[in-house]
């Protein structure tokens, strides 16, 4: 962006952390939140601040303040805060638009309100650059697919998870692993880990969720799938985007696990799938595939040469041994 200096570390730390308070607050609707703030903004701020305080108490001391500030001030008036505000509104509009198709009486008004609020960012340069871009609708459609695509779809699920939810879990985990590696004195770029994690499943919006056993069923088939992904991403998703944006997105979508940061994202991806298996097992799902996959992925993770991954794997195994599988 010409004339703008964006602090990538600040932006992506806020982007990753800002949703965590919802784990305790639950997903309060936009309308409810607006009404609460209009009636008693101080009370809302106090509730939110106390919620964040509950979260950061589990963190190492040197992470308390930066993580607290990232969550409480994620959408301030800085350029990073405004980018997150705009992204939040666009995301809310996407979801409200989907719901409005089926429940127009409930969602048409919030949808119009969101459109008006987004319009207030019309002159904000980062948004202005994409607002009328022809490729934006294609990218939005890809996100819609990921919001609705259910993982492990060949098996019956007690606790279904979407590809989009999985990607968010991977992003959180990859960021935590990156922070742990930094504390261990390793040269790592947490921002790059977040970018890779956010984009690693985008090709599935076009190819579907092709499971690893299928990819490895015949020698050479995995390479064919990689070629298919490259062609579909290039021709169907990236076409028409500015060259600089293609350069930022393409390799992170197609080769997310190749770099040093990519190894962390691969581990985060495995952890996320392991947790999904554990949820099925503990919810009473007796299909052996989940237990087998969980044990296999934990075995693969235990071979990692990254200290953070070893620590998390050992902690996970200890938890299983303590509580029972």
Bridge partners of 150? 162
Q: How far apart are CA 261 and CA 173, in angstroms?
A: 12
Q: How far apart are CA 295 and CA 290, in angstroms?
A: 9
CA angle centred on 175, ends 20 and 234, rounded to 5°: 105
Q: How far apart are CA 35 and CA 28, in angstroms?
A: 11
pLDDT in tens for each of the 325 residues of the chain? 666 789 999 999 999 999 899 888 877 776 787 788 889 989 999 999 999 999 999 888 888 999 999 999 999 999 999 999 999 999 989 888 888 989 999 888 888 988 999 999 999 998 988 888 889 888 898 988 998 889 988 889 999 999 999 999 999 999 999 999 998 889 899 999 999 999 999 988 888 777 777 777 888 888 888 898 899 999 989 998 999 999 999 999 999 999 999 999 999 999 999 999 999 999 999 999 999 999 999 999 999 999 999 999 999 898 887 655 5
Our measurement of the distance from residue 240's CA atom to the centroid of its chain's CA atoms, rounded to an integer in Å, reads 25
Q: How far apart are CA 153 and CA 115, in angstroms?
A: 34
- Domain annotation for the chain: domains and CATH numbers: 155-325 (1.10.3210.10)
The pair of structure tokens assigned to 160 is 């279904």
Q: How many helices and strands (H and E) does the chain possess? A: 18, 0
Q: Collapsing DSSP states into helix, strand and coil, what is residue 131?
A: helix
| DSSP annotation string for 155-213 | S--SS--BHHHHHHHHHHHHHHHHHHHHHTT----HHHHHHHHHHTTTTHHHH----HH
Q: Collapsing DSSP states into helix, strand and coil, what is residue 152?
A: coil
Query: Directed axis angle between helix 104-119 and helix 30-39, to 10°?
Result: 70
What's residue 322's pLDDT?
66
pTM above the 0.85 mark? Answer: yes
The pair of structure tokens assigned to 21 is 């308070």
Neighbours of 318 (CB within 10 A): 10
Non-local CB neighbours of 107 within 8 Å, separated by 6+ positions: 96, 99, 100
Non-local CB neighbours of 28 within 8 Å, separated by 6+ positions: 22, 36
Place of tokens 């994409």: 130
Report residue 240: phi and psi, to 5°. Answer: 95, -10
The pair of structure tokens assigned to 118 is 């987004």
What's residue 5's pLDDT?
87
Place of tokens 């809302």: 44
Gyration radius of the chain over CA positions = 21
Bridge partners of 162? 150
Q: How far apart are CA 183 and CA 170, in angstroms?
A: 20
Non-local CB neighbours of 287 within 8 Å, separated by 6+ positions: 155, 156, 280
For the chain, the straight-line distance linking the first and the last C-alpha, in angstroms and rounded, comes to 50
């Amino acid at each position: 962006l010409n004339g703008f200096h964006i602090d990538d570390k600040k932006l992506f730390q806020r982007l990753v952390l800002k949703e965590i308070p919802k784990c305790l607050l639950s997903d309060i609707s936009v309308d409810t939140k607006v009404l609460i703030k209009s009636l008693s903004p101080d009370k809302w701020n106090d509730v939110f601040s106390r919620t964040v305080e509950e979260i950061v108490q589990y963190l190492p001391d040197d992470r308390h303040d930066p993580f607290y500030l990232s969550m409480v001030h994620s959408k301030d008036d800085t350029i990073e805060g405004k980018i997150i505000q705009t992204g939040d509104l666009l995301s809310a509009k996407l979801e409200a638009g989907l719901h409005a198709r089926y429940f127009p009486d409930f969602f048409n008004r919030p949808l119009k309100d969101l459109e008006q609020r987004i319009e207030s960012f019309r002159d904000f340069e980062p948004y202005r650059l994409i607002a009328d871009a022809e490729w934006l609708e294609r990218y939005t459609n890809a996100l819609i697919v990921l919001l609705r695509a259910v993982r492990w779809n060949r098996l019956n699920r007690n606790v279904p998870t979407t590809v989009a939810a999985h990607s968010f879990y991977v992003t959180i985990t990859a960021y935590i692993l990156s922070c742990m590696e930094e504390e261990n004195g390793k040269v790592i770029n947490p921002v790059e880990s977040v970018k890779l994690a956010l984009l690693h499943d985008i090709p599935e919006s076009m190819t579907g969720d092709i499971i690893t056993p299928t990819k490895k069923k015949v020698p050479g088939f995995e390479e064919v799938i990689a070629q298919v992904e490259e062609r579909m991403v290039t021709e169907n998703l990236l076409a028409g985007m500015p060259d600089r944006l293609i350069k930022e997105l393409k390799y992170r979508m197609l080769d997310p696990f190749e770099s040093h940061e990519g190894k962390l994202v691969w581990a985060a991806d495995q952890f996320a799938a392991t947790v999904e298996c554990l949820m099925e097992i503990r919810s009473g799902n007796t299909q052996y595939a989940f237990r087998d996959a969980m044990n296999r992925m934990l075995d693969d993770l235990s071979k990692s040469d990254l200290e953070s991954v070893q620590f998390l794997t050992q902690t996970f195994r200890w938890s299983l041994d303590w509580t029972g599988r």
